[in-house]
Amino acid sequence: MADLADLTVATAGERLATGEASAADLLDAVIRRASLTEAELHCYVTIDHDGARRAAEESDHRRSRSESRGPLDGIPLALKDNFCTRGLETTCSSQILSGYRPPYDSTVVARLRDGGAVIVGKTNLDEFAMGSSTENSAFGPTRNPWNPERVPGGSSGGSAAAVAAGSALAAFGSDTGGSIRQPAALCGVVGFKPTYGLVSRFGLVAFSSSFDQIGPLARSVADALTLFEAVAGHDPLDATSYPGTVPEARPSLETGVKDVRIGLVRELSGEGYEPAVTAATNDMVAQLEASGAIVSEVSLPSFAIALSAYYLIAPAEVSANLARFDGVRYGLRVTGETVEEMMARTRAEGFGPEATRRILLGTYALSAGYYDAFYGQAQRVRTKLINELANVFEQVDVLVSPASPTTAFELGAKTQDPLAMYLTDVCTIPANLAGTPAISIPVGLDADGLPIGFQVMGPALGEARLFQVAAEVERLATFDHRPEILAAAGDRL
């Protein structure tokens, strides 16, 4: 690999340390890649040319004085456009926030800046992170680098596509029902959702507060861990932040899976799963067994109902969280004779169809007479799923499944059928309901050359075990394919 834009964070860090490359060189490489791919892929909503250039120069200056700040100093990263960035437009890919420049940095962004990371820009998403294809963006869809006729998944589709295409070395996203892992799977990169509460959500524009968790998208399992470590840890500004110690997972990257008990989830297979996905999953499970893991099939009946519970709880929380967009303090305002008319017109004009649909759904589910039958019952189903998982994690150390029932689907294939789109999250939602960590690792390609993701799920705070197995999956898969678009771009470099 000749191009700096294709390096892992770890390798780029080595190049920086030896002086073979500077932060400015790395930034030049990803900006050049973006200039070749953005017209087709549209990974970014905003590229912060000036801010990134300044950050790279400062990083190089620190390094010249031996004051470098750690593994992300000088590394060009992308951020999903739902992280507040001081002075830099933060849109959530919504008209209602178009032009908004936050007066503060989210905690994750502040920690990344402290670590010297170079923030290249803000990536495209489904509006307010609601969606599974990045087609619900007010600024147009992102396309999959492996085949631009296909979606990159979502909602962190811009981040996943940027990492796959080389317009950032790694990225951050948010995962409410699979919004990191599903696009990672569809774009052939690693995507990790940590245990709920390990990464502060302060300054992440809220979607569904009891599910939202921030995590990395990267080119290797080790990179994903490096990014996670850089931002994890308690934050008094996020009341749901976990006050204990962040699990130490680094040593387990090298330990292999001998005698690790792995459960294959029965409910995440069968009808609706593409044969190539099932075959790749079963093949990886067999390889893990051959590497010394103890494999069994396990059943979690509540996984079959998880999607239904999710699509009551998440919209309910959406209807509350998105009440703040009312044309008063930020973003769009459409005028009206009264304050209520102004708010109702602003919201109707500013929100796209999916945000509107979920606000209506959640408002209905929370309204008088329906609260207990829908929202209350969904929250009790959630308890049942958590209890089932706790029992299963006494028998096995980790659970495995596909990360998505299908590979990347065509643009427009599901936009007219909201329920069909929701069903694409069936593999990822259970870990959000339970607040447990889960990761997707690319394990192969289907017959059309589209990536397949393999999911590893651990118990709450079980990051060490999760990374132990994920690293072995990565070694066994030896996934070193590249999107064709990059071969084409390479000719022009």
Q: By CB under 8 A, is residue 390 in contact with other proteins? A: no
Q: By CB under 8 A, is residue 182 in contact with other proteins? A: no
Q: By CB under 8 A, is residue 158 in contact with other proteins? A: no
Q: By CB under 8 A, is residue 286 in contact with other proteins? A: no
Size of the site for other proteins (CB under 8 A): 76
Say what angle helices 353-366 and 303-321 make with each other, to 10 degrees: 100
Q: By CB under 8 A, is residue 377 in contact with other proteins? A: yes
Q: Which of the stretches 35-43, 141-149, 254-262, 372-380 binds other proteins when contact is defined by CB under 8 A?
A: 372-380
The structure tokens listed for 215 are: 């995590």
Q: Which of the stretches 9-17, 70-78, 153-161, 355-363 binds other proteins when contact is defined by CB under 8 A?
A: 355-363
DSSP for 193-218, written as a single string: EPPTTSB--TTBPPS-TTT-EEEEEE
Sign of the dihedral through C-alpha 323, 325, 328, 333: negative
State the burial class of residue 159 (Cβ atoms within 10 Å of its Cβ: 0-12, 13-18, 19+): buried
Instruction: Collapse the DSSP code of 24 into the 3-class scheme (helix H, G, I; strand E, B; otherwise coil) and give the result.
Output: helix
Q: By CB under 8 A, is residue 460 in contact with other proteins? A: yes
155 tagged catalytic: yes
Which member of 59, 156, 179, 252 is catalytic?
179
CB of 8 or CB of 209, closer to other proteins: 209
Q: By CB under 8 A, is residue 20 in contact with other proteins? A: no
Total residue count of the chain as it appears in this document = 493
Q: Which of the stretches 12-20, 199-207, 329-337, 475-483 binds other proteins when contact is defined by CB under 8 A?
A: 329-337
**Cβ-based neighbours of 394, under 8 Å, separated by 6 or more:** none
Q: Figure out which of the listed residues 18, 66, 335, 478 binds other proteins, where binding follows CB under 8 A.
A: 335
DSSP for 48-116, written as a single string: -HHHHHHHHHHHHHHHHTT---STTTT-EEEEETTB-BTTB---TT-GGGTT---SS--HHHHHHHHTT
Distances (CA, A) of 233 to 184, 196, 208, 214: 24, 11, 21, 12
299 tagged catalytic: no
Q: By CB under 8 A, is residue 228 in contact with other proteins? A: no
Question: For residue 228, which of 175, 153, 162, 303 has the smallest C-alpha distance?
Answer: 175
**What is the rounded CA–CA span in Å between residue 388 and residue 373?**
22
Quick note: the x/- pattern for other proteins over 289-328, rule CB under 8 A, is -------------x--x-xxx-xx------x---x--xxx
Question: For residue 122, which of 34, 48, 216 has the smallest C-alpha distance?
Answer: 48
Q: By CB under 8 A, is residue 383 in contact with other proteins? A: yes
CB of 143 or CB of 201, closer to other proteins: 201
**What is the rounded CA–CA span in Å between residue 339 and residue 328?**
9
Name the residue type at position 23.
Answer: A
**What is the rounded CA–CA span in Å between residue 176 and residue 100?**
23
Which member of 59, 80, 414, 440 is catalytic?
80
Q: By CB under 8 A, is residue 348 in contact with other proteins? A: yes
**Residue 464 Cβ, how far from other proteins at the closest point, in Å?**
17
Q: By CB under 8 A, is residue 392 in contact with other proteins? A: no
Which member of 137, 155, 200, 319 is catalytic?
155
Binding to other proteins, residues 200-219 (CB under 8 A):
210
**Residue 281 Cβ, how far from other proteins at the closest point, in Å?**
25
Question: For residue 464, which of 245, 202, 156 has the smallest C-alpha distance?
Answer: 245
**Residue 367 Cβ, how far from other proteins at the closest point, in Å?**
6
CB of 146 or CB of 325, closer to other proteins: 325
Q: By CB under 8 A, is residue 371 in contact with other proteins? A: no
Q: Figure out which of the listed residues 53, 113, 333, 482 binds other proteins, where binding follows CB under 8 A.
A: 333
**What is the rounded CA–CA span in Å between residue 315 and residue 317?**
5
80 tagged catalytic: yes
Instruction: Collapse the DSSP code of 396 into the 3-class scheme (helix H, G, I; strand E, B; otherwise coil) and give the result.
Output: coil
Q: Figure out which of the listed residues 49, 54, 258, 380 binds other proteins, where binding follows CB under 8 A.
A: 380
Q: By CB under 8 A, is residue 61 in contact with other proteins? A: no
Q: Which of the stretches 36-44, 290-298, 358-366, 441-449 binds other proteins when contact is defined by CB under 8 A?
A: 358-366
* Active-site amino acid positions: 80, 155, 179
